[in-house]
Amino acid sequence: MAGWNSITTNILGRDLEGITKLAYSDETDKKNFNGAGGFPVGRGDGNTEAKASFSLYKEEVNGLLNALPPGGRLQDIAPFDITVNYEKADGSLQKDRIRNCEFMGNGIDVKNGDGSIVTKFDLLVSHIEWNVI
């Protein structure tokens, strides 16, 4: 069975080690079209919206920021892909690719008693390629 320990997330050419959460999904707007009678006579597809977010330790965020020019912001990073590899029990990989990601913002939320600083980042993405080779 796949679990958190079977996942590798790669961004900007490096595997993320300080990642604590990853979420991504896509949804297509689908509609029924009614005609004569009380039941649909057809269906249509609308736009597909993809979403992605992850949570990173402050040290991982610092690593990304240190790769930028002085004063650079995460939001200044050009669109990038995120590759997510799931290692199967037989050792083979299933790969998903989250395409054209951009950071929407940056911030910190920390309080007394926190033993670490973790920040959730919502990403702007164009689409997701599921189970790519």
pTM score: 0.86
Classify residue 57: in a domain, yes or no: yes
Q: Is residue 35 part of a domain?
A: no
Asked if the model's pLDDT at residue 34 lies above 90, the reply is yes
According to the model, what pLDDT value does residue 84 have? 92
Average pLDDT over residues 65-74: 92
Residue 48 CA neighbour count, 13 Å, CB half: 9
| Domain assignment present for 36 | no
What is the residue range of 73's domain?
Answer: 4-29+46-132
Q: Is residue 34 part of a domain?
A: no
Would you say residue 101 lies in a domain? yes
The reply to whether 58 falls in a domain is yes
| Confidence band of 28 (pLDDT split at 50, 70, 90) | very high
- Residue 113 covered by a domain: yes
Q: CATH number, domain at 12?
A: 2.30.110.20
Domain membership flag for residue 117 = yes
CA distance 26 to 38: 30
Q: Would you tell me how many other CB atoms lie within 10 Å of the CB of residue 103?
A: 16
Number of domains in the chain: 1
Question: What are 87-131's pLDDT values in tens digits?
Answer: 888 888 899 999 999 999 999 999 999 999 999 999 999 999 999
Burial class (CB in 10 A: 0-12, 13-18, 19+), 11: buried
Read off the amino acid at residue 79: P
